[in-house]
Amino acid sequence: MRLVFMGTPDFAVPALRALHAHGHDIAAVYSQPPRPAGRGKAMRPSPVQCAAEELGLTVRHPVSLRASPAEWEAFAALKADAAIVAAYGLILPPAMLAAPRLGCLNIHASLLPRWRGASPIQSAILAGDTESGVTIMQMEAGLDTGPMLRADSVPITAVTTATTLHDQLALMGAELVLHVLAEGAAPQPQPEDGVTYAPRLTREDGRINWQESAAAIDRRIRALTPWPGTFTTLPDGTVIKIGAAIPDNRASASNAPPGTILDEHLTIACGEGSIRLLTLQRPGRGMMQADAFQRGQSLPVGLRLGEATAPHD
């Protein structure tokens, strides 16, 4: 089948590789333009662009598709049977949605209609969902509103992180889109009940509110690592990033205000229960195990975290 592939981050790479490996004719790959990254701010191509160039595929990276008739015409001129879209990052205008013979198919990392939008993986963990999955959807003008072609699910456990769920769903999406292209599927309208939206995340979403329960804070850390990352502050305003933690209700938090360090192992009182920090990071340092962190510059028992306002990046 003659395809156009449209994607940008790591999530989309397994699908691109699978489509190529199964012999589909990929006429072009669309990806977001290279962005400055790293300390030197050198221009870095997206993971999809890197994979496409490795496979010898043509890569296009328009800055915008809005009000761009020339881009629409170039896309239509590819005469694709279908466009496969996975976390591309640009909105496709109606002219592009209608150009491929079979339309545009989206690999979306949730069980639609739950978690339409930009952060479905993180939102599912944050909300305490017990499952997530991938939906292959026929794209239309609305935000993830199109009819569903195929879906599959995976459980979310007490140790699921955004990273592990991301990797599971990326592979699942590749498998599902291959099935849809090979076998076809009858479009099913999304149900009207159960619609939720996953907002675009910011760094501020990673601020730990110690008034929350230990379970909710644990979910936030698992959901928002590595991006945007979770953090707290020392009383002097120093930002401490948190990489991993585990609810640890053996330590009683009943008489300590939320955010108080309860023991030398960095067990922290929460609004309900307590949580033990496993890895954390000072400014300018690497992420460290809690015991190594404490040997470097110990945070004393009784210190209360999160009292200061963190500076913006």
135 within 8 A of 195, measured Cβ to Cβ: no
184-194 average pLDDT score: 95
pLDDT at 313 over 60: no
pTM for this prediction: 0.94
The domain spans of the chain are 2-198, 203-296
DSSP assigned state of 118: S
Say how far residue 279 (Cα) sits from the centre of its chain: 21
- Fold exhibited by the domain 203-296: Methionyl-tRNA Fmet Formyltransferase; Chain A, domain 2 (3.10.25)
46 is in an annotated binding site: no
pLDDT at 310 over 50: no
Average pLDDT, the chain: 94
pLDDT digits (tens, 9 = 90+) for 125-147: 999 999 999 999 999 999 999 99
Per-residue pLDDT, 38 = 75
Select the more confidently predicted residue: 255 or 302: 302
Concatenate the DSSP letters of all residues of 155-211 into one string: E--TT--HHHHHHHHHHHHHHHHHHHHHH----BPPPSTT--EEPPP-GGGGB--TT
Domain 2-198 has CATH 3.30.750.200: no
Lowest mean pLDDT, pick from 22-36, 127-141, 239-253, 287-301: 239-253
Per-residue pLDDT, 247 = 94
pLDDT at 308 over 60: no
Per-residue pLDDT, 40 = 77
pLDDT at 290 over 50: yes
147 is in an annotated binding site: no
110 is in an annotated binding site: yes
111 is in an annotated binding site: yes
Per-residue pLDDT, 307 = 66
* Residue 154, helix vs strand vs coil: strand
Per-residue pLDDT, 39 = 75
Q: What is the largest CA-CA distance in the chain?
A: 69
pLDDT digits (tens, 9 = 90+) for 67-102: 899 999 999 999 999 999 999 999 999 999 999 999
Instruction: State how beta strands 274-281 and 239-247 pair.
Output: antiparallel
46-69 average pLDDT score: 96
Per-residue pLDDT, 312 = 41
